[in-house]
A and B are shown apart, each in its own frame.
Chain A
């Protein structure tokens, strides 16, 4: 009897609060930007010094360029990205009804290439894919993140959360050990942030180029000496979706600059 009640109460507590144990409350969520020094902030703030803007400009050209055997441009279907793409990246990864699971913005771009342009998919981290993705996400700059709100996305958010909490690799560390429990501390002298995915694709000084969120997640996994998930794998997409839902309300910054 008593144990059944305990289980019922425990279930209630597990479902009722919007915030799960160990998670960062909305008013304490902070972009990686707030952990950076003044020079790196200035580089992000000024479009003429932000190297990510070169990719955005490339993406703008690609948006209007006819491609594939359909000989159609993104703009032929979507028109002016400034209005049609506004706020879109803040909702990604988004649930795709045809596939029955969430897709990332990169995957959406490749689905459009396949279905509407009859063009070959662009490889992950390819310059053109990063440029298109940066251009589309840039149209959401300043817009609060709402990814994961779609009820159909919920099971995938939960999957991503479980992966975030899971210890892994030879060093046996979970994402949450660094990005929930130890942000604001220093790992070998460098600040650990909350791991909020607000600015992707972004220009990382360490990479000397633009890179995707998946690239970042794979390097965190390699850092704990875990076998990184493949680009585009359901696990990485779920992690991405969870991270975006965890950043709910934070404004998009694409293209951000990070050390």
Chain B
């Protein structure tokens, strides 16, 4: 009885995150099964609440408020495949265990997460797909 209810509780919590499969250094398949939207992806990367622009800069002439804690995103689509970009966003610590880049699609192994954010990934699967679609267009 107890084991069953624990299993149910665990699956209810895991429901937030869609399952994905890592192949080599990427996630080849879309998290949602559908391709992302490039324009929405660009808007998301530029939104401060998404947090990318706090650390990164990129080809965004309309804003002065860009970070320099991380590489410029210009040309990211040349350097990385969509599959690699997807894994980088889902869990950048797979590439570099000491990275400061947050894992955007992870909700476990975190400490003292704020009440409003607990148990949730930073971005939804659909948002990740939009951003991947946009980053893939960043070619020199």
Give the interface of A toward B (CB within 8 A): 166-173, 177, 181-182, 185-190, 192, 222, 225-228
Residues of B within 8 A of A228 (CB): 114
Q: How far is the CA of A177 from the CA of B101 in the complex (A)?
A: 11
Minimum Cβ distance to chain A for residue B109 (Å): 8
Q: Are A169 and B111 in contact (CB under 8 A)?
A: yes
Q: Confirm or deny: B25 has a beta carbon within 8 angstroms of a beta carbon on chain A.
A: no
In this complex, which of B66, B111, B122 has the most chain A Cβ atoms within 10 angstroms of its Cβ? B111
Q: Are B117 and A189 in contact (CB under 8 A)?
A: no
Q: Are B115 and A171 in contact (CB under 8 A)?
A: no
Q: Are B54 and A170 in contact (CB under 8 A)?
A: no
Q: Are A173 and B112 in contact (CB under 8 A)?
A: no
Q: A170-B117, A173-B100, A227-B112 are in contact. List 11 more A-B contacts (CB 8 A).
A: A167-B111, A168-B112, A169-B110, A169-B111, A169-B114, A169-B117, A182-B69, A186-B69, A187-B55, A188-B53, A192-B69
Q: How far is the CA of A173 from the CA of B103 in the complex (A)?
A: 11
In this complex, which of A167, A182, A185, A189 has the most chain B Cβ atoms within 10 angstroms of its Cβ? A189
Majority secondary structure of chain B interface residues (helix, strand, loop or mixed): loop
Of B53, B65, B102, the residue contacting A171 (CB under 8 A) is B102
Q: Confirm or deny: B67 has a beta carbon within 8 angstroms of a beta carbon on chain A.
A: yes
Q: How far is the CA of A188 from the CA of B122 in the complex (A)?
A: 18
Q: Could you list 16 examples of A-B contacts with CB < 8 Å? A: A169-B111, A170-B110, A170-B113, A170-B120, A171-B122, A172-B111, A173-B102, A186-B69, A188-B53, A188-B65, A189-B65, A189-B66, A192-B69, A226-B114, A227-B112, A228-B114
Q: How far is the CA of A181 from the CA of B116 in the complex (A)?
A: 28
Q: Across chains A and B, which 4 residue pairs bring their CB atoms closest together, nearest first?
A: A189-B65, A170-B117, A168-B111, A188-B54
Count how many chain B residues have C-beta atoms less than 8 Å from C-beta atoms of the other chain. 24
Residues of A within 8 A of B66 (CB): 186, 188-189
Looking across the interface, which residue of chain B has its beta carbon closest to that of A229?
Answer: B112
Q: How far is the CA of A168 from the CA of B69 in the complex (A)?
A: 18
Q: Are A188 and B67 in contact (CB under 8 A)?
A: yes
Minimum Cβ distance to chain B for residue A168 (Å): 5
Q: Are A188 and B117 in contact (CB under 8 A)?
A: no
Residues of B within 8 A of A187 (CB): 54-55, 67, 69
Q: How far is the CA of A186 from the CA of B53 in the complex (A)?
A: 11
Residues of B within 8 A of A227 (CB): 112-115
In this complex, which of B64, B65, B66, B67 has the most chain A Cβ atoms within 10 angstroms of its Cβ? B67
Q: How far is the CA of A187 from the CA of B103 in the complex (A)?
A: 18
Minimum Cβ distance to chain B for residue A217 (Å): 13
Q: Are B100 and A225 in contact (CB under 8 A)?
A: no
Q: How far is the CA of A188 from the CA of B68 in the complex (A)?
A: 8
Residues A222 and B114 in contact in the complex (CB < 8 Å), given A170-B102, A188-B54: yes
Looking across the interface, which residue of chain A has its beta carbon closest to that of B64?
Answer: A189
